[in-house]
Amino acid sequence: MSLIAIVHIAHPDLALSPAIRDTPEAAVRVMPQAATDPGTGLFFFFVENAGEALEAAFDRDHTVADWKKLSDSDTGAVYRLQHTDEALLLSPKTFELGGLMREATSDTMGWTVRLQFDDREQLSRLWEYCKDEGITFDLRRMFRHQPWAGTDLAALTDPQLDALLTAHEEGYFEEPRRISLEELAEMLDISPTAVGGRIRRGTAALVETSLVED
Q: What is the pLDDT of residue 75?
A: 81
Length, in residues, of the chain = 214
| E strands present in the chain | 2-10, 27-30, 42-48, 64-72, 77-83, 100-106, 111-117, 136-145
Based on the domain organization, do 163 and 87 belong to the same domain? Answer: no
Domain that holds residue 51: 2-144
Q: How many domains does the chain have?
A: 2
**Residue 118 CA from chain centroid, whole number:** 20
Structure pTM? 0.67
Residue ending a domain, among 144, 172, 189, is: 144
Q: What is the pLDDT along the chain (214 residues), one digit of tens a residue?
A: 678 898 999 999 999 999 999 998 898 998 865 444 445 578 899 998 888 999 999 999 999 999 999 999 888 899 999 999 999 999 899 999 999 888 899 988 899 998 999 889 999 999 999 999 999 999 988 877 654 444 456 567 878 888 888 898 888 998 888 899 999 988 888 888 989 999 998 888 887 766 555 4
Residue ending a domain, among 93, 119, 144, is: 144
The single-letter code of the amino acid at 114 is: R
Residue ending a domain, among 144, 160, 181, is: 144
The single-letter code of the amino acid at 56 is: A
Contact 6, 114 (CB under 8 A): yes
CATH assignment of the domain containing 153: 1.10.10
Based on the domain organization, do 99 and 177 belong to the same domain? Answer: no
Based on the domain organization, do 140 and 151 belong to the same domain? Answer: no
